[in-house]
Amino acid sequence: MKFIIQRNRLIDSVQDVMKAVSSRTTIPILTGIKIVASDQGITLTGSDSDISIESFIPKEENGDEIVEIKETGGIVLNAKFFGEIVRKLPMDFVEFEVQNHHQTIIRSGKAEFNLNGLDPDEYPHLPQISEDKVFSIPTDLLKSIIRQTVFAVSTSETRPILTGVNWHIENGKLTCTATDSHRLAMRTAPIEMDPSETYNAVIPGKSLIELSKILDDSNTPVEIVMTENQFLFKSKNLLFFSRRLEGNYPDTSRLIPTDSKTELVLQTKEFLHSIDRASLLARGERNNVVKLVTLEEKNIEISSTTPEIGNVVEQIQSESISGEELKISFSAKYMMDALRALEGTEIRIHFTGAMRPFIIRSVDDDSILQLILPVRTF
Amino acid sequence: MKFIIQRNRLIDSVQDVMKAVSSRTTIPILTGIKIVASDQGITLTGSDSDISIESFIPKEENGDEIVEIKETGGIVLNAKFFGEIVRKLPMDFVEFEVQNHHQTIIRSGKAEFNLNGLDPDEYPHLPQISEDKVFSIPTDLLKSIIRQTVFAVSTSETRPILTGVNWHIENGKLTCTATDSHRLAMRTAPIEMDPSETYNAVIPGKSLIELSKILDDSNTPVEIVMTENQFLFKSKNLLFFSRRLEGNYPDTSRLIPTDSKTELVLQTKEFLHSIDRASLLARGERNNVVKLVTLEEKNIEISSTTPEIGNVVEQIQSESISGEELKISFSAKYMMDALRALEGTEIRIHFTGAMRPFIIRSVDDDSILQLILPVRTF
C-alpha cells in the first residue's frame, strides 16, 4: 500500500472513526484503525464491536485531487498513536507506505514515522447488511430526535433494555421513546415508508450519542437501514453501524395519562431558570427535589430547602392555570432536562394529581412529549 | 447589614475571592466568604489560611452607583452555594439583608433565598502587614514572570522548599528561580527599589498560579509588600496575601554552567513542533525521552522510539551550529515547557557535553534562562 493524501481530510476522517474505537476492548486489533487503499480512494474503519464506523475519502472531489494512490492494499494502525501523529504532522500532505511485516512509514516534510502495523485481514468484518427496510430523514431532524430522547435512557444496567431508545415505525410514523422508569421522553416524526410496514428496534443510547457527534447540521438526508441485529446510518462517505439491544421494550403507552386535573401554561425559559435556581438548594433528604404550588391569580410558587444551608422561594406568573389547586414535588434535574428538550417559547403541563405522572408539551408542537413521575413529599 | 448591589460587580468579586476558598479545609468557617458592608462599600474575603484574597466593591465609581448601603454590618456565607446563587439570580440588582441569628435574605426579582450565615466575628483576621519593603511592577510583567518560572517548581513534597519560587532582590534587580532538581527556570527583571536593600523569600507555586488567574492583562502597577511571614500583592480594589515557605532555598547559581562546548541556534516554533512530534513516540523505558544529534551542514536530528509501537526521526536545519559534535537525550516535556516560556523567534542552546546540564535562552533576550538536565542513554 502506498498513497499520498491531503492531511486535513485525513484528520476529519480519523476523528470520525475514532469515535467507535475504545481503549478498553478485549480484542487487541480493535484498538487500531483499519486503512484500506483501493482504486477509488481510502477507507478508514474503527469499531468497538457495538459500534462500527467507516469513513471513505474519495480520490477526487469536485476536480480536486485528495488522494494519489500509488499502490492499493491495507493496514491496521494503533488508533491513539495514529490519531495524534496525523494531527501533529508538519505539512499539508502525508505519504503512507506499507513495507514488509506491516511496517508502515508515514512521511510529511522532513518528519518520518515508522509504525508497527497489524494485518488488515485479521480485522473483524463489518456486519453484512442486506438493504431490507430502508427510510431516510434529514440530518438535522435526526440530530433533534436523538437530542430530545436520549437523555432519558437509563444509566443503570439493572434493566439493560432501558439503556436504549425504542424506535418504532407504524403507519408511516417514527416514534422514539426513552425512559429510565422515573421519566420518559417521546418524539414522533413522519417518515416516507410504506404505511403497512411496521418495525421495532431498541438502539443503545451510547450509539446514538456517538452518531449525533459525527453528524453535521445540514438537512441532507441520512439513510437508515434496519436488519435483524443491526442498525445502519448512511450519510455521504460515512457508514455508522450499531448493534440493537436484545429483548422486548416495555409497553410505555399505558404510563401516559390521557386525562388531566390541572393544566398550566408557562414561559419555557422563565420556568427553566426558576427551577435551576431552586435546584441550587434542593439538596435535602431527597436529592434534587423542588416543590411547585399553584397560588391565586395565575401565580405559582417554586421552592426548595437544604436544611443546613437555607431555602429558596420564587413566584412565577403563569400564562394560564385551569383545573384543581395543586401541590407537587419533582426532580429539578428531570424537569430541566425535559424543558431543554422541548421546542418553542411556551409549554403546557398536564397534571393528574400530586402522585401521578405528569406530561409536558410545547404549546404549539405535539411531536415531543416529556413525562415525569413526581416525588411524594406532601 | 442591608444593601443593594449591581449583580455583575458582585459576580466578579465572588469569582476572585473564591480562588482562595478550599472545600477541603479543616476550619469550617473558611468554607465561607466573609461579606462586610461599610460606609465606603462592600468587602468580600476568602481564605484557605495559605492564601487570602480580599476584594473591595466601592459604593460608587465614576459617578455610577454600584452599591446602596442601607445598614452596615457583616456575615459569612457558604462560598459554594453563595457563588452559584449569585450567578443564577434573575435581575441586575441584588438585595442583601441579615436578620436575627445570622439568617440572610438574598432577593432578586421575585426570587428570595434565605441562607443560614455564620458570625463574621469568628472569621480569622487577615495578616497585619506593616508596609515595610515595598516595590511595584506592571501587572502584565508580573504575569509573565509567574508564567515563565512557576511551571518548573517541584510537585513532590519530598523537599517542600522546591514547591515554591524563590524571589531574590539585590542591586535593584528581582530574580525569580524555580527548580524541581531536573530542570530550572530563572527570570530577572529590574525593579525600582533602593539598590542597597536585599530581600529573599520563597512563595508557594500554588499561590502564584492563583494570583496569576486573578490579574488582568493591563500594565497598571501591582504593589508588592514583603514581610517576615507574608507576601502581599495589592492591585486596584484587590489584596492577595500568600504565606511564605519556610527554610533556605538551595544555592542554584553553581548549577548553571558558564562555559559551553556546543552552541545551537534554532527557530523556536519549528524546534518546539518537532519535539512535540517526537514526544508522541517517546514512551519507551525512560518515559518521554527524545534524542538530539548534530549532523553535517547545520542539520540536527530529533528522534524517539516506543519499541512496541514504532519510532520517529526528523531533521531540522539550524541557524548555526558551533563547537563539538553532540548526541544528547532529554525529556521532551521539559524542553517543550522551556521553549513555551521563552520569548522571541530564535533560541540559543549552550551544551557542555551529553551528561551536563544545558542552557536555553532567547537569542535577543537575556532576562529568561531555562536549564535542563539531560538523561543518560548514549
DSSP A60-125: EETTEE-EEEEE-EEEEEEHHHHHHHHHH-SSSEEEEEE-GGGEEEEEETTEEEEEE-B-GGGSPP
Count CA atoms closer than 13 A to A369's CA, side-chain side: 21
The pLDDT of residue B308: 86
Closest residue, chain B, to A77 (C-alpha): B309
The pLDDT of residue A25: 82
Considering chain A, what percentage of its residues have pLDDT values greater than 90?
82
- Side chain identity at residue B274, one-letter code: S
Would you say A93 and A3 are in contact if contact means Cβ atoms under 8 Å apart? no
pLDDT, mean over chain A = 93
Cβ pair A81:B276 closer than 8 A: no
What average pLDDT score do residues A334-338 get? 96
Q: If we measure between CA atoms, which residue out of A168, A175, A170, A176 comes closest to residue A194? A: A170
The pLDDT of residue B285: 61
Same domain membership, residue B163 and residue B88? no
DSSP B118: B
Residue A149 sits in a domain of what CATH number? Answer: 3.10.150.10
Rounded Cα distance between B279 and B274, Å, is: 9
What average pLDDT score do residues A68-78 get? 96
Would you say A204 and A50 are in contact if contact means Cβ atoms under 8 Å apart? yes
Question: 3-state class of A159 per DSSP?
Answer: coil
DSSP A196: T
Residues of B in contact with A112 (CB under 8 A): 312-314
Q: If we measure between CA atoms, which residue out of A73, A106, A81 comes closest to residue A7? A: A106
Nearest to B308 among A89, A104, A116 (CB): A116
Cβ pair A277:B89 closer than 8 A: yes
Q: At which residue does the C-alpha cell 519507551 appear?
A: B284
How sure is the predictor about B71, in pLDDT bands with cuts at 50, 70 and 90?
A: very high
Same domain membership, residue B349 and residue B240? no
Cβ pair B115:A310 closer than 8 A: yes
Residue B244: count of CB within 10 angstroms of its CB: 19
Would you say A153 and A342 are in contact if contact means Cβ atoms under 8 Å apart? no
Cβ pair B281:A111 closer than 8 A: no
Beta bridge partners of B204: B164
Q: With respect to residue B116, please indicate whether it lies within any of the assigned structural domains.
A: yes
* Higher-confidence position of A75 and B254: A75
* Higher-confidence position of B378 and B98: B98
Cβ pair B312:A114 closer than 8 A: yes
Residue A378 has pLDDT above 60, yes or no: no
Are β-strands B32-37 and B41-47 bridged in parallel, bridged antiparallel, or unpaired?
antiparallel
The pLDDT of residue A343: 82
pLDDT in tens, A239-263: 999 999 999 999 998 889 999 999 9
Residue A24: count of CB within 10 angstroms of its CB: 6
Residues of B in contact with A84 (CB under 8 A): 280
Closest residue, chain B, to A302 (C-alpha): B111
pLDDT in tens, B269-311: 999 999 999 999 997 666 789 999 999 889 999 999 988 899 9
Residues of B in contact with A111 (CB under 8 A): 274, 277, 312-314
Chain A interface test: which of B77, B110, B274 (most A C-beta within 10 Å): B110
Considering chain A, what percentage of its residues have pLDDT values greater than 70?
99
pLDDT, mean over chain B = 93
Q: How far is A111 from chain B (nearest CA, A)?
A: 4
Q: With respect to residue A129, please indicate whether it lies within any of the assigned structural domains.
A: no
Rounded Cα distance between B166 and B176, Å, is: 5
Chain A interface test: which of B309, B316, B317 (most A C-beta within 10 Å): B309
The pLDDT of residue B185: 98
Q: With respect to residue A334, please indicate whether it lies within any of the assigned structural domains.
A: yes
The pLDDT of residue B195: 85
Q: With respect to residue B377, please indicate whether it lies within any of the assigned structural domains.
A: no
Same domain membership, residue A368 and residue A318? yes
Residue B378 has pLDDT above 60, yes or no: no
Same domain membership, residue A8 and residue A107? yes
Cell matching residue B262:
556546543
Cβ pair A84:B280 closer than 8 A: yes
DSSP string covering B168-232: EEETTEEEEEEE-SSEEEEEEEE--S-TT--EEEEEEHHHHHHHHHH--SS-PEEEEEE-SSEEE
Q: Does B277 touch chain A (CB under 8 A)?
A: yes
Residues of A in contact with B318 (CB under 8 A): none
Same domain membership, residue A219 and residue A167? yes
Q: Does A217 touch chain B (CB under 8 A)?
A: no
Domain boundary among the residues B253, B270, B287 is at: B253
Cβ pair A111:B85 closer than 8 A: no
Sign of the C-alpha dihedral computed for residues B154, B155, B157 and B163 taken in this order = positive
Cβ pair A113:B310 closer than 8 A: yes
Cβ pair B112:A308 closer than 8 A: no
pLDDT in tens, B198-229: 889 999 999 999 999 999 889 999 999 988 88
Q: How far is A315 from chain B (nearest CA, A)?
A: 6
Residues of B in contact with A281 (CB under 8 A): 81, 113
Least confident interval from A55-64, A128-137, A200-209, B135-144? A128-137
From the CA atom positions of chain A, what is the Rg in Å? Answer: 25
Q: If we measure between CA atoms, which residue out of B60, B32, B26 comes closest to residue B44? A: B32
> CB within 8 A of A164, min separation 6: which ones?
A153, A178, A202, A203, A204, A205, A244, A245, A249
Beta bridge partners of B76: B34, B118
The pLDDT of residue B169: 93
Domain boundary among the residues B202, B235, B253 is at: B253
The pLDDT of residue B284: 63
Cβ pair A113:B312 closer than 8 A: yes
Residues of B in contact with A280 (CB under 8 A): 81, 84-85, 88
Residue B300 sits in a domain of what CATH number? Answer: 3.70.10.10
Residue A285 has pLDDT above 80, yes or no: no
pLDDT in tens, A263-276: 999 999 999 999 99
Cβ pair A88:B316 closer than 8 A: no
Number of domains in chain B: 3
Q: At which residue does the C-alpha cell 443510547 appear?
A: A205
Cβ pair A280:B116 closer than 8 A: no
Nearest to A116 among B309, B314, B316 (CB): B309
- CA distances from residue B14 to A264, B10, B33, B46, B74 in whole angstroms, order as listed: 37, 6, 8, 9, 15
Q: With respect to residue B127, please indicate whether it lies within any of the assigned structural domains.
A: no
Same domain membership, residue A161 and residue A115? no
Size of interface A-B (CB pairs under 8 A): 85
Same domain membership, residue A358 and residue A269? yes
Rounded Cα distance between A287 and A306, Å, is: 9
- CA distances from residue A232 to A107, A173, B255 in whole angstroms, order as listed: 35, 19, 63
What average pLDDT score do residues B328-356 get? 94
Chain B from 315 to 334: CB within 8 A of any A CB:
315-316
Same domain membership, residue A118 and residue A6? yes
Question: 3-state class of A214 per DSSP?
Answer: helix
Cβ pair A113:B281 closer than 8 A: yes
The pLDDT of residue B132: 72
Residue A23 has pLDDT above 90, yes or no: no
Question: 3-state class of B119 per DSSP?
Answer: coil
Rounded Cα distance between A158 and B160, Å, is: 48
Closest residue, chain A, to B90 (C-alpha): A273
Would you say B350 and B263 are in contact if contact means Cβ atoms under 8 Å apart? yes
Sign of the C-alpha dihedral computed for residues B55, B58, B59 and B64 taken in this order = negative
Find the helix packing angle between B7-18 and B79-88, rounded to 10°.
150
Cβ pair A113:B85 closer than 8 A: no
Outline where DSSP puts E strands in A227-294. 230-235, 238-243, 262-267, 289-294
Question: 3-state class of A1 per DSSP?
Answer: coil
Count CA atoms closer than 13 A to B267's CA, side-chain side: 9
What average pLDDT score do residues B77-103 get? 95
pLDDT in tens, B170-190: 999 999 999 999 999 999 999
Same domain membership, residue B179 and residue B147? yes
Residues of B in contact with A305 (CB under 8 A): none
Q: How far is B89 from chain A (nearest CA, A)?
A: 7
Residues of B in contact with A311 (CB under 8 A): 113-114
Would you say A212 and A204 are in contact if contact means Cβ atoms under 8 Å apart? no
- Side chain identity at residue A324, one-letter code: E
Same domain membership, residue A200 and residue A141? yes
How would you class A55 by CB atoms within 10 Å of its CB: exposed for 0-12, middle for 13-18, buried for 19 or more?
A: buried
Cell matching residue B17:
475571592
Residues of A in contact with B315 (CB under 8 A): 110
From the CA atom positions of chain B, what is the Rg in Å? Answer: 25
Would you say B189 and B137 are in contact if contact means Cβ atoms under 8 Å apart? yes
Distance of CA B74 to the CA centre of its chain: 31
- CA distances from residue B7 to A355, B68, B94, B120 in whole angstroms, order as listed: 39, 12, 6, 22
Q: Does A309 touch chain B (CB under 8 A)?
A: yes
Would you say A127 and A52 are in contact if contact means Cβ atoms under 8 Å apart? yes
Q: Does B101 touch chain A (CB under 8 A)?
A: no
Cα distance from N-terminal residue to C-terminal residue, chain A: 71
Rounded Cα distance between A75 and B375, Å, is: 35
What average pLDDT score do residues B215-244 get? 92
How sure is the predictor about A26, in pLDDT bands with cuts at 50, 70 and 90?
A: confident
Chain A from 81 to 100: CB within 8 A of any B CB:
81, 84-85, 88-90
Q: With respect to residue A378, please indicate whether it lies within any of the assigned structural domains.
A: no
pLDDT in tens, A134-176: 889 999 999 999 999 999 999 998 999 999 999 999 999 999 9
Q: If we measure between CA atoms, which residue out of B326, B334, B336 comes closest to residue B356? A: B326
Q: If we measure between CA atoms, which residue out of A193, A143, A132 comes closest to residue A168? A: A193
Instruction: Identify the helix (H) or strand (E) that includes residue B358.
Output: strand B358-362
Residues of A in contact with B102 (CB under 8 A): none
Q: How far is A311 from chain B (nearest CA, A)?
A: 5
Q: With respect to residue B378, please indicate whether it lies within any of the assigned structural domains.
A: no
Q: How far is A87 from chain B (nearest CA, A)?
A: 10
Q: Does B113 touch chain A (CB under 8 A)?
A: yes
Sign of the C-alpha dihedral computed for residues B30, B33, B38 and B41 taken in this order = positive
Q: With respect to residue A377, please indicate whether it lies within any of the assigned structural domains.
A: no
Q: If we measure between CA atoms, which residue out of A40, A38, A124, A30 comes closest to residue A77? A: A30
* Higher-confidence position of A265 and A26: A265
Same domain membership, residue A246 and residue A145? yes
Nearest to A88 among B85, B115, B276 (CB): B276
Rounded Cα distance between B282 and B62, Å, is: 57
The pLDDT of residue A53: 97
Q: For residue B31, give its domain range.
A: 2-122
Residues of A in contact with B88 (CB under 8 A): 273, 276-277, 280
Q: Does B116 touch chain A (CB under 8 A)?
A: yes
Same domain membership, residue A84 and residue A15? yes
Would you say A120 and A74 are in contact if contact means Cβ atoms under 8 Å apart? yes
